[in-house]
């Protein structure tokens, strides 16, 4: 299900933002690790180059006024011990090459130790230049020692470091993203919880939302609650209005009916009599509708202010059948009540329950032929079930469950007066008590079977 009003996700946004931050930090971490490690590796090479140049300078000596050198084995072999890089050296006395590679550049400035990076023999080399002042007898000479090495080993180290730093960065990023997912989830949990609580509510549950909510959600909850309040007030107002209207219509209708009866009786012409009969019937329908609307409004009101009391369903059923037996008696209909256990203790609203039972029994009487039996069968296992079974015409055509809708009447009603609200009221009462209504025809013989089912305990 996609909701049309959804635009973006808070969690998605949160996760993306946190992931971006994590990516940025990973990148910074990667660069820092790489820079530091490469600096360290480059320093190592510089140190070895310097050590090599120093050992060469220590091996300088004079012989008959000339500077001589006995190149120490370690001076070059130490450079070969850490990597397989090419090695170049040059010793120059006053600009003239004493030994080594003639074309290795000499430094221009006069600083003591100078490091430099340049291209030599087709490769980038790192070089150190050492200047020493050497006295040969009576005059002193400037000796420059240059030792250079290619950077193959350094490049290998650097690529290894880059890989390691990259791995660290990626791991950090994945970890941070995982954690940010979790953080977003847990930060939004109260919202999900609240949405769940509101979704789980019944259709007419208009109680305010209570329960702990984080400060950030308080305004939303407040707004929701005030909206619920306003909605409830507006619903109440329209129901009050319907009830008031029904009430106002019913009283004058009663008067009109009485007058019509009187007139009917005083008339002799059968043609006029029939017309008046029709009129009385229409009045009956209207007044029935008004009465049922009033009842419906009452039921709605009471389910809102649901007040429960301990009662016995058996007693309730008996009271209701007693009250209806005169009506039944008019059609010579007998009502039998049977129950499997003596008492059906239940906590509920007696008035609502009576109203529901009355509507079921009223239907049974209305839609049964004269001189028949209505059975009220009460069973308690596993739920309380009050089945009202008649021998009438039964439900016909269509989906029996649709009779539970407002103002829906069957095709089988003939001239029976009714509004189509009876079973709607029954359904609402059942739902208010966490029960349900089942409608079907008798398995054996003709007639309808309407079961009012309530949870036990």
Q: Applying CB under 6 A, which residues contact ligand ATP?
A: 288, 292, 359, 363-364, 367, 390, 392-395, 403, 409-410, 412-413, 418-423, 448
**Rule CB under 5 A: is residue 368 a binding residue for Mg ion?**
no
For residue 236, count CB atoms less than 10 angstroms from its CB and return exposed for 0-12, middle for 13-18, buried for 19 or more: middle
Choose among ligand ATP, Mg ion, another protein, none what residue 288 binds, the Cβ cut-off being 5 to 8 Å by kind: ligand ATP
In the chain, the largest separation of any two C-alpha atoms, in whole Å, equals: 167
Q: Among residues 20 and 254, whose Cβ is nearest to ligand ATP?
A: 254
Distances in Å between the Cα of 267 and the Cα atoms of 74, 145, 273, 281, 383 are 143, 144, 6, 17, 56
Handedness of CA 313, 314, 319, 323 (dihedral sign): positive
Handedness of CA 227, 228, 234, 237 (dihedral sign): negative
**Rule CB under 8 A: is residue 47 a binding residue for another protein?**
no
Choose among another protein, ligand ATP, Mg ion, none what residue 348 binds, the Cβ cut-off being 5 to 8 Å by kind: none
| Angle between the N-to-C axes of helices 152-187 and 10-58, in degrees from 0 to 180, rounded to the nearest 10 | 160
**Rule CB under 8 A: is residue 5 a binding residue for another protein?**
no
Report residue 216 as tokens. 């950030």
Secondary structure class of 355 (helix, strand, coil): helix
- Which position among 80, 178, 208, 214 is part of the footprint of another protein (CB under 8 A)? 80
Stretch that binds Mg ion, among 128-136, 241-249, 391-399, 418-426 (CB under 5 A): 418-426
- The minimum distance between CB 84 and another protein, in angstroms, equals 4
Q: Among residues 348 and 422, whose Cβ is nearest to Mg ion?
A: 422
Picking from 129, 132, 154, 130, the residue whose alpha carbon sits closest to that of residue 141 is 132
Secondary structure class of 113 (helix, strand, coil): strand
- Which position among 100, 169, 394, 422 is part of the footprint of Mg ion (CB under 5 A)? 422
Q: How far apart are CA 355 and CA 432, in angstroms?
A: 13
Task: Report the run of H or E that residue 61 belongs to, with start and end.
Answer: strand 60-63
- The minimum distance between CB 8 and ligand ATP, in angstroms, equals 47
Q: How far apart are CA 444 and CA 37, in angstroms?
A: 92
- The minimum distance between CB 427 and ligand ATP, in angstroms, equals 9
Choose among ligand ATP, Mg ion, another protein, none what residue 123 binds, the Cβ cut-off being 5 to 8 Å by kind: another protein
- Which position among 77, 135, 405, 408 is part of the footprint of another protein (CB under 8 A)? 77
**Rule CB under 5 A: is residue 289 a binding residue for Mg ion?**
no
Q: Among residues 84 and 415, whose Cβ is nearest to another protein?
A: 84
Contacting positions for another protein (CB under 8 A): 68-73, 75-77, 79-81, 84, 86-88, 98-100, 121-123, 152
């Amino acid at each position: 299900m996609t909701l049309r009003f959804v635009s973006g996700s808070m969690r998605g946004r949160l996760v993306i933002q946190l992931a971006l931050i994590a990516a940025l930090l990973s990148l910074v971490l990667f660069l820092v690790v790489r820079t530091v490690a490469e600096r360290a590796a480059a320093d190592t090479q510089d140190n070895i180059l310097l050590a090599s140049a120093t050992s060469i300078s220590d091996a300088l000596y004079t012989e008959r006024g000339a500077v001589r050198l006995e190149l120490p084995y370690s001076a070059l072999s130490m450079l070969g011990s850490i990597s397989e890089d090419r090695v170049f050296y040059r010793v120059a006395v006053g600009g003239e090459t004493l030994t080594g590679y003639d074309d290795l550049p000499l430094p221009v400035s006069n600083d003591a130790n100078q490091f430099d990076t340049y291209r030599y023999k087709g490769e980038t080399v790192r070089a150190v230049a050492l200047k020493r002042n050497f006295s040969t007898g009576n005059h002193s000479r400037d000796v420059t020692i240059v030792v250079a090495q290619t950077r193959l080993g350094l490049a290998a180290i650097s690529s290894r470091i880059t890989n390691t730093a990259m791995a660290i960065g990626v791991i950090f990023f994945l970890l941070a993203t995982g954690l940010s997912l979790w953080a977003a989830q847990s930060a939004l949990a109260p919202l999900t919880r609240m949405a769940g609580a509101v979704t789980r509510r019944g259709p007419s549950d208009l109680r305010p939302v209570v329960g702990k909510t984080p400060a950030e959600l308080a305004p939303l909850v407040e707004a929701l609650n005030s909206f619920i309040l306003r909605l409830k007030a507006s619903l109440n107002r329209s129901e009050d209005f319907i009830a008031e209207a029904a009430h106002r219509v019913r009283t004058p209708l009663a008067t009109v009916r009485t007058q019509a009866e009187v007139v009917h009786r005083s008339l002799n012409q059968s043609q006029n009599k029939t017309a008046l009969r029709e009129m009385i019937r229409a009045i009956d329908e209207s007044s029935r509708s008004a009465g049922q609307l009033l009842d419906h409004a009452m039921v709605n009101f009471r389910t809102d202010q649901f007040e429960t009391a301990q009662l016995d369903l058996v007693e309730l059923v008996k009271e209701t059948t007693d009250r209806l037996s005169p009506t039944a008696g008019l059609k010579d209909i007998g009502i039998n009540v049977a129950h499997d256990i003596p008492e059906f203790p239940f906590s509920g609203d007696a008035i609502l329950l009576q109203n529901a039972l009355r509507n079921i029994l009223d239907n049974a009487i209305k839609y049964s032929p004269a001189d028949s039996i209505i059975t009220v069968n009460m069973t308690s296992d596993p739920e309380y079930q009050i089945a009202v079974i008649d021998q009438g015409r039964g439900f016909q055509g269509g989906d029996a469950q649709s009779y539970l809708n407002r103002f829906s009447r069957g095709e089988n009603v003939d001239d029976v007066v009714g509004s189509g609200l009876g079973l709607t009221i029954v359904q609402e009462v059942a739902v208010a008590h966490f029960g349900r209504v089942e409608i079907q025809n008798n398995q054996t013989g003709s007639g309808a079977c309407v079961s009012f089912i309530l949870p036990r305990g």
